[in-house]
Amino acid sequence: MNLRNVAIIAHVDHGKTTLVDQLLAQSGVFRANEATTERAMDSNDQERERGITILAKATSVVWKDTRVNIIDTPGHADFGGEVERILGMVDGCVLLVDAEEGVMPQTKFVLTKALKMGLRPILCINKVDRAHADPDRVHLETIDLFAAIGATDEQLDFPHIYASGRSGWATLDLNQPSDTLAPLFDLIVSHVPAPKQQANADKPFQMLNVLIESDPFLGRLLTGRIESGKAVPGMPIKALSRDGKTIEQGRITKVLAFRGLKRQPVEEGAEAGDIVAIAGMAKATVADTLCALELNEALPAQPIDPPTISMTVAVNDSPLAGREGDKVQSRVIRDRLLKEAEANVAIRVTETPGSDAYEVAGRGELQLGVLVENMRREGFELSISRPRVVYQTGENGERLEPIEDVVIDVDDEFTGVVIEKLSARKAELKDMGPSGAGKTRIQLACPSRSLIGYQGEFLTDTRGSGVLNRVFSHYEPHKGSIEGRLKGVLVSNSDGETAAYALWNLEERGVMFVGAGEKTYQGMIIGENSRSDDLDVNPMKAKQLTNVRASGKDEAVRLTPPRRPSLEQAIAYIEEDELVEVTPKSIRLRKQVLNPSFRKKRVRED
């Protein structure tokens, strides 16, 4: 059977997973009466809740005697490491661009990686049935992007197709309507070359591992494209590191091929060029080479861009520690973080001198937030520091900081406040213009550290209507200090349970993060102060009762519902001297130093 390996790449929310749903449905993967779910490739709990793709996943369909292996990739910049890895095991890609939004920062990022790998993309202008779609403008924008990135003449000669992923149709000409995705299937089969690895079918087995996951029955599953030879169950193989050193030897216990949404065992073996998952190895990880015993050379692995944001993950040492989670020891936290870094090459874990805290570096706040949320659901208790940028040292010894390309779509009336706020945060305006429907598109170059904690303020300034997209661009010399949070916090000065009467009296001081009857402790942040300084308060103070009749009626205590920050909001909100306490049931904010006297002493010393 003919074979094609293709990846679908795009900016976040441009419709990759929805399009894959329709490709699966129209290729006959599902039975006529089979129950299907929307965004079937987003199988992870957090992917379904957040509505985004976090992990790259493979599937395959059969179209006219050709098996097409399709890889659905994440669109969010924080998960760009997944895209960089999987582009090495495909021979072509479909670049999806929204017919209304056009070229966005992540579009540029994924296209740069694809062109560098020598792939010839197919441009699919998606969502052409949207009210303000302008496919001709988007087509010209994409041609300009190809030229700006430095595409070869062969890559510039790319085919384009118009589609509506949600409605399930594609056409090469908008004047000739279609009701199926057959034109897209035909274009993939004709434009994407067959894997050149098929010529190596008679050579010894060799495969580069790109993805890793754990199966409760089969153990470690290593996914990649077979570069040469054949993978047969029971065959002895070994794993080589990048520098060619032998990591382990073992046998292939199972070869699993991707067939629709399922992985099916292949008893007779998988041929060169096919994308498969192999079970049987215990130590091999991402970027390692699996090969026959007689081979000693490792396959070259695609280099991954370095992390730009880091934070400290430590043992939870608050007075309420150990009451909600069952994984609280530093060695258990360490093992879990190292396991994550092994599977996700975009994350880097280092131990701090204190030994009970670990420095975790990644691409952005969302990626680190997803990791902490996963650990929280597994029963871990952690304390998290404020994210910091990862600096680099220049050739002359100067400090360099990461700069991001930021694209903001916002209603015309809010452009002034957005530009004013970001200019104060050392951002440089690159371009600005109308994007249709009463909206303005603002393009800026902005230091990564100035965007930490800005998302909530941005949504407030734009009344929830603004959309901010960002992607790492390059390093530049340090731009000086940036003003942090403008308001202080309300800090509890004792341990106990909060009283409604006390919170009612404190409401005039600011916004509460806790409700009545909740456990609190000295040094825990219970609200946001309306002024710029921190204030120690007593949230446990109850109304003093007497046996003397009062002529007036007692005041009815009606509390405003507290503002409970989500995990990402909490991580972005805290300052350098604060922590987020994360447990399976609660997210609390606290000061690093709980005792107010010691806090004041530390401030004086600083």
Please state whether 453 falls in left (phi above 0), alpha (psi between -120 and 50) or beta.
Answer: left
Q: DSSP letter string over 99-158?
A: TTT-S-HHHHHHHHHHHHTT---EEEEE-TTSTT--HHHHHHHHHHHHHHHT--HHHHS-
107 appears as a binding residue in the annotation: no
Pair of tokens at residue 594: 């709980």
394 appears as a binding residue in the annotation: no
The 10 Å CB-count burial string (b at 16+, else e) for 76-99 is bbbbbbbbbbbbbbbbbbbbbbbb
What single letter denotes the amino acid at residue 113? K
C-alpha 564/C-alpha 561 separation (Å) is 9
165 appears as a binding residue in the annotation: no
15 appears as a binding residue in the annotation: yes
14 appears as a binding residue in the annotation: yes
Reference 290, options 356, 224, 368; nearest CA is 224
What single letter denotes the amino acid at residue 79? F
Residues 6+ apart with CB under 8 A from 136: none
CA distances from 415 to 93, 273, 434, 519 (A): 36, 50, 11, 42
Please state whether 445 falls in left (phi above 0), alpha (psi between -120 and 50) or beta.
Answer: beta
126 appears as a binding residue in the annotation: yes
Q: How many CA atoms lie within 13 A of 324 on its CB side?
A: 20
Pair of tokens at residue 276: 């498969």
Helix or strand or coil: residue 172?
coil
53 appears as a binding residue in the annotation: no
Three-state secondary structure string covering 508-575: HHEEECCCCCCEECCCEEEEEECCCCCEEECCCCCCCCCCCCCCCCCCCCCCCCCCCCCHHHHHHHCC
17 appears as a binding residue in the annotation: yes
- Whether 505 contacts 469, CB under 8 Å: no
CB neighbours (10 Å) of residue 385?
21
496 appears as a binding residue in the annotation: no
Q: Where are the alpha helices (DSSP H) in 411-461?
A: 415-424, 448-451, 454-461
Parallel/antiparallel/unpaired status of strands 254-259 and 262-265: antiparallel
CA 549 to chain centroid: 61
Pair of tokens at residue 236: 């002895």
- Whether 505 contacts 512, CB under 8 Å: no
Q: List binding-site positions for GTP.
A: 13-18, 126-129
Q: List binding-site positions.
A: 13-18, 126-129
